[in-house]
A and B are shown apart, each in its own frame.
Chain A
Amino acid sequence: MKRSGLAQIIDFPKDPHGTSNRTSYSEDILDQIFNDPRLDQRIQERIEGQLLALAYRERLGALQGVQDSFDDIYLSELTPDSFNKGSIAKIQRMKRIRDLSDSIDFNDEWEG
């Protein structure tokens, strides 16, 4: 302990294993807080949530403000699609193909 005028300076232990009661008490409290499994779970959930949100923003594009999912369509600015009459005739001929889709199943998370 040093004295400088009216002030009293207390040396703070630099050694992390110091024996100051004050440091030990603080460490005990911190240990109790950080070793609480509920805190672990809460932190983990928040980090996972933030990472997931970040991943979505990066992968799917962040929405700026509120957007209507169904944007206006300006019909006057559209031009009709050209189509191949041969393709339509082909589809008409092939629509007689028998569909067997109902006879196969895929046992994954989409079912049930």
Chain B
Amino acid sequence: MYLEVPDQDLTQGDIIDGIHLLGAIKLGAIQVTNNQQGEAVSWTIPAKPKLGQVMVLSHSCEIAKENNIKLTSIILAPIRGADTATSKDKLAELISSNILTENTEASYLKYFYIEPHEKLSCSKDEYGGVVDFSKVFSVHKSALQSLEQNKTLQLQSHVASAMALKCALYYHREAA
């Protein structure tokens, strides 16, 4: 699933370590500070920051250095520990239907399963993790270099492609 030696450049499907996880922010918890003129000048969230691993969802072409003009922000999704799945049977089903084919009838489109690896922080009990497409967030393009420096793992290209296809289908699925 992973390249033995990751590239230095950032590509779609890369796993980055030590990122401030910002997905699923509680909008009601945001505290806005106003200046003397009553204009909102800053905001804070009274919650302990969570650092963790994320997967890059941005298309490789968009974050390629030679295409700098296209880069406005970098889309990331948090990785959750598969060991916390409340049903191990469902997790097994998720894993078996993870890579979609033309013959797949049902799958867990919200999640892309990633195999355990010594560099994957959520690999407790060899369960691996899941990328959660419903909790994506983006960071400013100025973070590109630091994301590259914190790159930990890289998916093989066919796996990265399967992940992107599943992500596309999660947003394009037919309504139930």
A105 CB-CB contact with B under 8 Å: yes
A83 to chain B, nearest CB (A): 11
Main DSSP-derived SS at the A contact region: loop
* Contact yes or no, B146 A99, CB < 8 A: no
Total count of chain A residues near the partner, CB < 8 A: 36
Interface residues of B (CB under 8 A from A): 18-20, 23-24, 49-50, 61, 69-70, 72, 78, 80-82, 84-87, 90-91, 93-94, 100, 102, 104-111, 130, 132, 135, 139-146, 150, 165, 168-170, 172-174, 176
A sample of 18 cross-chain residue pairs with beta-carbon separation below 8 angstroms, ordered by A number, consists of A58-B146, A59-B146, A60-B139, A63-B140, A94-B102, A97-B100, A98-B106, A99-B173, A100-B107, A103-B87, A103-B90, A104-B85, A104-B111, A106-B81, A106-B86, A106-B130, A108-B84, A110-B23
What 10 pairs across the A-B complex have the smallest Cβ distances? Answer: A101-B110, A98-B106, A104-B90, A108-B84, A99-B109, A105-B86, A61-B146, A106-B84, A61-B143, A61-B142
